[in-house]
């Protein structure tokens, strides 16, 4: 067989195939590790920022992976209701946008969006995550 104007034996082809398979399996292992790290990075980081005059401030932070849109949300403590909130993104000009920000209903007995705050964040960066954070003020 001729490949790139060189005569290649069957044995050489098998060797190339084995190397390619090994690299492929190694690549899958690396991809699995990267996927696991990405999943860990995506885990929510909730923070209670304190209570003043009955108003409780909370935030929740998550990474928005490259070239993707994700929802970030934070819930009020039980028996408290959202009175306001917002969404932050660490991305700069032309790197990220806050697609939306609004009070959410988290599946309690009513349909009133009184349980927290959330929003969609877009990350346009090809090779880096941005940090998104939702804030809620609850009373």
**Applying CB under 5 A, which residues contact Ca ion?**
105, 108, 110, 112, 114-115
Closest-CA residue to 117 (of 60, 68, 69, 48): 60
Measured from the CB atom, is 24 or 77 closer to Ca ion?
A: 77
Supply the minimum distance, in Å, between the C-beta of residue 36 and Ca ion. Answer: 34
Measured from the CB atom, is 22 or 112 closer to Ca ion?
A: 112
E strands, 32-67, are 45-52, 55-64
Closest-CA residue to 119 (of 137, 105, 139, 133): 133
Measured from the CB atom, is 37 or 105 closer to Ca ion?
A: 105
């Amino acid at each position: 067989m001729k490949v790139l104007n060189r005569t290649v034996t069957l044995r050489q082809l098998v060797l190339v195939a084995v190397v390619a398979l090994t690299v492929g399996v190694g690549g899958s292992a690396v991809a699995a590790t990267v996927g696991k790290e990405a999943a860990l990075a995506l885990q929510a980081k909730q923070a209670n920022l304190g209570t003043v005059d009955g108003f409780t401030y909370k935030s929740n932070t998550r990474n928005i992976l490259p070239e993707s849109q994700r929802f970030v949300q934070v819930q009020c403590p039980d028996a408290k209701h959202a009175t306001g909130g917002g969404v932050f993104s660490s991305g700069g000009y032309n790197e990220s946008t806050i697609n939306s920000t609004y009070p959410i209903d988290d599946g309690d007995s009513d349909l009133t969006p009184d349980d927290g705050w959330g929003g969609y964040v877009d990350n346009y960066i090809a090779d880096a995550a941005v940090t998104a954070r939702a804030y809620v003020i609850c009373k």
